[in-house]
Amino acid sequence: SRVVYMGEIESIKRSQKRVWLVVAIVLGAVVIDQIIKLYVATHFALGESREVFSWFWLCYVENNGMAFGIEWFSKLALTLFRLLAVGLLGWYIHTLLRKPETPTGFIVTIALIIAGALGNIIDCVFYGKLFGYADWFFGRVVDMFYFPLIRNSAGEVLFFRPVFNFADSCITCAVAVILLFYLKQLNGKEE
């Protein structure tokens, strides 16, 4: 048997805390995302919009493709790609958690990307069957947040037309933070 030093015990405790942080972020974000989506899908008619503020609306839109409705692949291929991406990101975060020098903030951003992807995967895998419009793996992603920030004098939206969801926000914010603060980690270099 070998002697365990206090530094090793502290390192193990820190590692365990970071694992629980990742679990909490992923579960919390997925639960919030699904609550919002299920509320909108069950309380709004498809295509319905409700003004919350002049610059923020809740809308019920279903997205069959990727971000901004882009459809490059078949629905099944896109869903399978998302599942593969989450698997790879899960492996990646597992390797990051084993390196004590990896900044916790970087780990948080990867956890948010995983959570966002999982939130949208749930829609694709289950919502078609749940709401009775498609088979497993062929569901559409529920989007609801709309920010018509800048309009012209005729009321037409000039800036920010996309409708998106909480999962998309998790991914977008995490990617922005990575690009602003963690490019070295993304490239495999430590600060």
DSSP state of 65: S
Phi then psi for 157, rounded to 5 degrees?
A: -75, 125
Element (H or E) spanning 32, and its range?
A: helix 6-43
Element (H or E) spanning 42, and its range?
A: helix 6-43
Q: Token pair of 7, please?
A: 């530094």
Q: How far is CA 174 from CA 110, 111, 159, 170, in A?
A: 7, 9, 22, 6
Phi then psi for 144, rounded to 5 degrees?
A: -150, -20
Catalytic residues: 143, 168
Residues in the chain: 191
Q: Token pair of 126, please?
A: 């289950």
The answer to whether residues 94 and 22 touch, using CB atoms and an 8 Å cutoff, is no
